[in-house]
Amino acid sequence: MNNFKQQRIFTNNTDFHILFGSYYDILSYHKTLDAATVALNSILESDYKWPSIWIVAPGQTSLWPYIKATPEENSRTSYDSFTSLNNIIGVAEAAKFLGRSSQTVKNMCAAGKLPAKKIEGKWILDKTILKFLK
């Protein structure tokens, strides 16, 4: 038995929402990605009680499962802005989308100026969030 079962579907049509913990609790609302990012960065380390916390951009849909799992002891919060794999793109596509060179996009990712994650030496980005940075 996989212990997963669909609970609810949520489509965010307005602000950037910061979601946490039980996968459907909204922690806060923000008009811009920058404001949401600042809010995430301002969470005190002592407040890391949730197994996950992430930003949902306007227009994104999230499925919230019931999950029978115990968070790891002393786990740290995972900041995850990637809610749909359909919108994950690489540096070349992000560069074309933003009208920049691939090297500029890599530099912006490394400097933290773009919401990106490095996996096995390659940067990945969420196209949904990049729309708000154009």
CA–CA dist 26, 3 (Å, integer):
23
Which DSSP category does 91 fall into?
H
* Residue pair 84/60 in contact by the 8 Å Cβ criterion: yes
85-130: what CATH class?
mainly alpha
Q: Which pLDDT value is given to residue 106?
A: 93
Regarding pTM above 0.85, the answer is: no
Numbered ranges of CATH 1.10.10 in the chain? 85-130
Question: CA-CA distances (angstroms) from residue 94 to 27, 33, 111?
Answer: 29, 17, 16
Q: Which pLDDT value is given to residue 78?
A: 41
pLDDT in tens, the chain (134 residues): 444 444 444 455 556 656 555 445 566 666 777 777 777 666 655 445 555 566 666 666 554 443 334 444 334 434 444 445 667 888 999 999 999 999 999 999 888 888 788 887 888 887 877 777 76
